[in-house]
Structure 1
């Protein structure tokens, strides 16, 4: 079978009762199912998901799985979405540039009886102009995710935003471009921090340990940040994390503006209060709402310094905020950045509990 990192945990409840988190679970499920069927039917070879996963070096089989999963996901939702969640499920951590939605328009009709699929979905079709570039979080940082015990109708939210964009294109496109520029700047900042860590690991480690002990507003205010040997390198790391913090806050502000203008709760006030409480914790770099937003979940990027007692880690402080927060029911989600580069072939015996789950879900067969 195939899997993606976000599609492997047993839920313990019926599928209809699974809580929606807005973290791409539907895309991960569709990607796993499509990829498994392609392998089972020998449409793509068994080694299709080995090796590189960026668009420059991915196999034709991986690209076909991407194109088909994008189509199935769009058909299920009744529209061509951003495609990022499917792309993440296929290729792993990445910087993503969306394909032109026109490529799927011929296949989004009610009657497909006379419409061949392969010419459109083939990796050789140049209309698939998406781009995937490698990305990773800076060393000694981690993502934290939490469900806020609610859920949003993603197609409805996105539909309202697109309606607003169509009705006020000049205003909407300007805000769209601004958020895109901020997202690009944030990705460059995080990648630059990884480069700094590679060049001066000692200074980077000291800086992460330092900013893990105080709030972001204090990162440059405290004069005790440097020693003579690593002053400039420490300053470079700390300023990088401050840039990341400020950019993530700017993204949140502009996403709230979009929500107000489109009259949709992209970052509802309840989540704003929760995020503000979390981001004020020492060692938290930034945060926001994932995907289309709404009452689904939150994400945080936090420092994860080496050698600290567990109770002193920023993640532990955040978890204490979540466990005592009164404004919303907050449920931590187990998550970490995957280095597995997206969809991959799994052996039943290599995934703890998977064989038992398959046996439990398999239909019983009886006969005379």
Structure 2
């Protein structure tokens, strides 16, 4: 066993200029030295960076690595020795073991492949409505606000039973919560607004249940605080990740129009490749609960490990020519939804939305193209958990 690993001096906070779809160059360079590198954390704490596909998959499925929030440190700023708080009630992605599985068991049946496929017709209707609105307004349009944000927002709100009149409120506040450029006080205010609304909604569902996931959950042993937390997590995650996949994926397809015909021929396979290629949830943290050997290196109990999913999904030992977008390849085995007990609960819903929305967009607007130079498209900072575009101005032949 050796600890003479390559060292990455700091986790990159920005992508390489001119490469909007690629992981930061520092991550690719680190992977050239092996699947694991040392990553010192601010404040002098030891950490590790995993860029290899097989090793990342192994750690994601290993119960010796924890997702608990109170064990985590920021890879970007030194917060001193102030301990992180435990995950709030309902935020099960930041929990382990029985605590995590209790929530997972209650929710898993609500997001099965079969149930999500039954929603296809409704996704098609919502998508058609957004395309009609774009056509009526005429070019140009911001694809983020006109198309990529509303579709997942409407679908997750309908699943959870949020009244239609309240959905614009949600979309606005969730967008602010995840906007790294928004003032910190605005992000906190939006978080509070969403939390307060969900508390009111939970009370309403308890008093008068309707046919939706949140009403179903009120008939379980979840407390009021747990219901509010779980519902908030599902709403935010269901909107932000898929919205960024839709907009960044469209940007990638417009940058390589040859892939559009392949997408239209087999949307399901093309979506898996876009998920692999873009990996919008590009990074996941874990903490070792005990001493573990990883690829010949001694990871100590308490060491934090950053899994660079975007780089693992471009591991040449797993995928041929991984830096190329090839909508015709089989990308089965990618880690865009994670792996193991914490694998994304809403992945089947995301697949239905993506495999419906992409082909509908390019079928309705075959002349769709960027309305500004590609280099003017602003990418969300790498410091956030989800990568995407801030806006995507597009135009087409009316």
TM-score higher than 0.5:
no
Q: TM-score, normalised by structure 2?
A: 0.25
Q: TM-score, normalised by structure 1?
A: 0.26
Q: Which has the larger radius of gyration?
A: 1
